[in-house]
Amino acid sequence: MPFDLAACDALLADPNWSDWRWQMRRRIHDETALEAWIDPTDDERAAIEATRGVFRWNITPHYASLMDPHDPSCPIRKQVVPTMDEMRPDLVGVEDPLEEVAHSPVKNLIHNYPDRVAFCVTSECAIYCRYCLRKRMVGDAEMMMRKDELRDALDYLADHAEIRDVLLTGGDPLSLSDKNLGWLLGELRQIPHLEIVRIGSRMPVKLPQRITPELCAVLEQAHPLWLNTHFNHPKELSPGSFAAVDRLLRAGVPVGNQTVLLRGINDDAETMRALVNGLVRMRVRPYYLYQAQVIGGTAHLRTSIEKGMEIVEALRGRTTGFAIPTYVLDTPFGKVPLNGSYVLGRAGDFVVMRTPRGPLWAEPNPLPPREISTLPQIDLPDGIATISTEADPFGVEKRTAPMEA
């Protein structure tokens, strides 16, 4: 069936459009529902079948309304609609590039930094981004947290006085009900040494209807609380998102943004400048620009590191200083700023860098096109930590050097 304009108009006119629970119930996850919003290509139709059992897909009506129905290169559409590129051979096939599971003393609690943790409080998410860092867990019922498992994590936090900062992530923590989220925040606030709580949520982008006055009242009771969201393209800066962010700010919640650099979506200076300028107008502080993680099935979305460095350089002096995010790569040894202070050079298809904890890291990252200046060429040091390029697609990575204790 072709794109159904009448069905699309009917959904947009539905009186329940502003109800976030209605949006969650009406998420798009089959070909027929998708046809109410776009005219799927043969490639997209094939990928919907081919990716079953590999990585789920889900799109909220709000986010679907931002897609171009006729252009498969639409930057919104490319983030959420499967394509056959996901099934093609990849440089590596890792599921957990940051070794989060190895750093989880209890279920879904990642203690990789001495003074802070990431707490994956749910595996539910309103949409499944095709480049997702946590493909291994999102949408997986076994990765949901029972009350006793949440209690185990809270006990761990209470027993470790060195932890001062907790990031609630997932999945998306704002997919929890107001009651459950309020309970969890209240429990965290009972732990004296926890100084701040952060929430990582893409709800202001993919489902701004979730940012209700009732939710903001819950968040207002948990200060000091910060929220980082995840806008990747100017088309995502919708009126609904502006309103959602405004409600958060009026509740005293500072809002930052973490963008992922994605090929064919935001990997040019003009798009990135439009995005960060739009964020600043929204009073959202651009925080990080992430190099996309090496996860199986995402090669078509990853850029060269040189490309990201070129984009940040093009922003410098051409927009407000605090609108320029820090370009980083997340590694098992911490986040590495991708600049001349940390990046040492290129050894073929690897970029070699210092990490904040000392060990060198070699990131698999194919050579950029000739029109992009490459980093200095160096030899790959012996025994350097990296991700094995021998892993099968969607397999498990192997390290060439041991992790720090």
Asked if 275 and 128 sit in the same domain, the reply is: yes
Domain boundary among 15, 50, 85: 85
Q: Are 349 and 364 in contact (CB under 8 A)?
A: yes
Whether 84 and 133 have beta carbons less than 8 Å apart is answered as no
397 lies in a domain? no
Domain range for 55: 5-85
Instruction: Give a yes or no: residue 238 inside a domain.
Output: yes
Are both 109 and 30 inside the same structural domain? no
Q: 171 and 195 share a domain?
A: yes
**pLDDT of amino acid 387:** 82
pLDDT for the residue 16: 93
Looking at the structure of the chain, the number of domains it has is 2
Determine the Cα–Cα distance for residues 209 and 121; give it in Å rounded to an integer.
21
Please classify residue 192 by burial: count the beta carbons closer than 10 Å to its beta carbon, then call 0-12 exposed, 13-18 middle and 19+ buried: exposed
- Assess whether 49 and 109 both reside in one domain: no
The whole-number pLDDT of residue 405 equals: 27
Residues 122 and 72 in one domain: no
Is residue 144 assigned to a domain?
yes
Residues 230 and 312 in one domain: yes
351: exposed, middle or buried (C-beta count within 10 Å: 0-12, 13-18, 19+)? buried
Residue 141 belongs to domain with CATH number: 3.20.20.70
**Cβ(135)–Cβ(294) under 8 Å?**
no
pTM as predicted:
0.91
Are both 152 and 63 inside the same structural domain? no
Residues 154 and 16 grouped into a single domain = no
Q: Are strands 116-120 and 165-169 parallel, antiparallel or unpaired?
A: parallel
Write down the pLDDT at residue 402: 32
Shared-domain flag, residues 252 and 187? yes
Name the stretches of the chain with pLDDT < 50: 390-405
Q: Which of 28, 61, 85 is the last residue of a domain?
A: 85
Decide: 29 and 61 in contact? Cβ < 8 Å: no
Amino acid at 71: D
